[in-house]
Amino acid sequence: MASLADLRDELRLIVQEQMATDSAHDLAHLDRVWMNARKIAGGSSDSKVLMAASYLHDLVNLPKDDPNRNLASRYSAKKAAPFLVSLGFAPEQIKATQHAISAHSFSAGITPETFEAEVLRDADRLDSLGAIGIARTFLVAGAIGLPLYDPADPFAQNRILDDGKFSLDHWQVKLLKLPDGMITDKGQKLAKSRVKVMLRFLDDLSGEIGA
């Protein structure tokens, strides 16, 4: 099998050819997930499995409002198999990579059973937080035509949260809760730090819109 650097180059070529255009789930997102995964895992993982899972986890990426969204990670895991074979992965490594890919998704509801799967899930969710998380939230909202917030009640103080209607509601529904769901200690620590960035943004936004 290729060196880690060569493997990364090959994986990046694969995803550039295979992934649909999606500014929130592009090659830069995959690079960040791999960077996050390295920070979280340290030297305690199968680096090639973790790298492959990081780069191939969004091979099939369905829109947030697609009824089959919860199946996307399973589709990605299945699609990854022939690429992993071509890259020289052993059967047990392919199985481990596919499990990590399948289990990374919030909507899939699959429990990570390996350290690499735990790390990938935390690394991917970490990219939904902090400054980059703010940017990606509004990229996704724009792609599906959601307004940023409810002008009458931006922070849902007197209404039921609905992130199917307002992008900012998604923060309270899901994103700000992500640190508590992180599996690894390092992932949780990084997530809490990034949430502070988002809370500062909300304070600034409140002042700017007079809410």
Per-domain residue ranges of the chain = 1-114, 128-211
Q: Which CATH class is domain 1-114?
A: mainly alpha
Distance CA 97, CA 7 (A): 14
Same fold, 1-114 and 128-211: no
pLDDT number for residue 154:
95
Instruction: For the chain, list residues with pLDDT below 70.
Output: 1-2, 20-21, 63-66, 108
Segment 121-173, tens digit of pLDDT: 999 999 999 999 999 999 888 888 899 999 999 999 999 999 989 999 999 99
CA distances from residue 124 to 41, 86, 162 in whole angstroms, order as listed? 13, 25, 23
Quote the pLDDT of residue 97: 97
**What does each C-alpha distance from 29 to 44, 56, 187 come to in angstroms?**
23, 11, 17
Per-residue confidence (pLDDT) for residue 187, from 0 to 100: 96
Separation of alpha carbons 177 and 192, rounded Å: 10
Q: How far is 195 from 130, CA to CA, in rounded Å?
A: 6
pLDDT at site 99? 94
* Alpha carbon of residue 34 to chain centroid: 11
- C-alpha–C-alpha distance, residues 28 and 6, integer Å: 18
Q: What's the CATH code, domain 128-211? A: 1.10.3210.50
What pLDDT shows up at residue 60? 85
